[in-house]
Structure 1
């Protein structure tokens, strides 16, 4: 018998919120960075890993990023481009979350690699954040996707079994890591993809 789904877990950037990640990262680094390489580059950089696990403040991160990648820009210019990486919500993000909330069968959670700068921007918007029951980030655990430990930490916090969860992320390595420990997971690029997957799987819609 199929295990009932109880938890829906969403990445944030590229899934619920549009990103200008590729454009701004390429401008910062002075070279075009293919989309499929962005996640790996970002996750492996010492400066970004420290920032997104709560070890550096914004200024210290900026200085470390400039040093690590030899960026020929001022701290202020780098920080402005960094803020610009986070774009507006996808048009259907809030309606999707409201529809799932009204359905009442699922806990709606977030699992995002993020940082104090972008997190504050999202919380100040007050759009998707109030609709999430359990918003988890890399800052909460001092870990980043695709480390298997962060998925186990979320399952523990939710008191959930892997097969009771669906996880949606735009990064294929994050999706594969979730699948490796038994979580249902799919690579998506916005709310329309999420709705399609939920319908195809008989979860919602």
Structure 2
């Protein structure tokens, strides 16, 4: 790992915030979807893409999701299950971000595919959000990971070179897309993984 890292960029769900994604998607669809397939399923769904790029509100998204997947659940149950996908922060998320801010060497950024419902929940908790200097989401750009354009938009906003950034995501396709642009990127499953990597490379 080069010693030129200036920007640490985190995914949100599955990295800083626990997800009940697999459990809730299984209930919604009435079938088990392997974890490694959920990212592709979610990202390729027309309804989800429109919701997470700001083109549908929650009510319209609910109707579109029910229609697209032929869901047998009521609108209220679908919305309840959707909200329940976002769980609490990982225990070490706030301590990790606090330590990194105190370290002072890095700009802490967020790059998350998210939606108005889940984003509002995170902001209302007021835990990790105040600790992120530059939060970016799919809603800001009208793009979703792993589209290369969203990574380039973040680099432009940060005025950063790819090699100055280290990106952490739980989705391997998102990690591979970042690497293809020259960013340092790792697949992680929580803040403990991030802390271990930073410590190993003497960056924390």
TM range (shorter): over 0.9
Q: Distance in 2 between matches of 1:143 and 1:20?
A: 24
SS at 1:88 equivalent? strand
Q: Distance in 1 between matches of 2:58 and 2:43?
A: 17
1:55 aligns with 2:24: no
Who is 1:36 aligned against? 36
Q: Segments of 4+ in structure 1 off by > 3 A?
A: none
CA contact (8 A) 1:3 1:163 kept: no
Superposition pairs for residues 140-155 of structure 1, below 5 Å? 140-155=140-155
Q: Deviations over 1:104-154 (max 9, x none)?
A: 110000000000000000000000000000000000000000000000000
Q: Distance in 1 between matches of 2:125 and 2:69?
A: 31
Q: Distance in 2 between matches of 1:63 and 1:126?
A: 30
Who is 1:116 aligned against? 116
Q: Deviations over 1:60-111 (max 9, x none)?
A: 0000000000001111110000000000000000000000000011000000
Aligned residues: 204
Who is 2:137 aligned against? 137
SS at 2:22 equivalent? helix
Who is 1:183 aligned against? 183
Q: Distance in 1 between matches of 2:149 and 2:126?
A: 29
| TM-score normalised per structure 1 | 0.98
Q: Deviations over 1:148-191 (max 9, x none)?
A: 00000000000000000000000000000000000000000000
Q: Deviations over 1:14-47 (max 9, x none)?
A: 0000000000001000000100000000000000
SS at 1:5 equivalent? coil
1:126 aligns with 2:126: yes
Who is 1:17 aligned against? 17
In structure 2, stretches of 5+ residues that fail to align are: none
CA contact (8 A) 1:167 1:184 kept: yes
Who is 1:64 aligned against? 64
| TM-score normalised per structure 2 | 0.98
SS at 2:160 equivalent? coil
Who is 1:4 aligned against? 4
Superposition pairs for residues 69-84 of structure 1, below 5 Å? 69-84=69-84
RMSD over aligned CA atoms reads 1.0
> Deviation of residue 3 (structure 1)?
5.1
Q: Distance in 1 between matches of 2:46 and 2:88?
A: 27
In structure 1, stretches of 5+ residues that fail to align are: none
> Deviation of residue 200 (structure 1)?
2.0
Q: Distance in 1 between matches of 2:100 and 2:84?
A: 29
Question: Per the alignment, do residues 92 and 3 of structure 1 end up closer, same or farther by CA in structure 2, a change over 3 Å counting?
Answer: closer
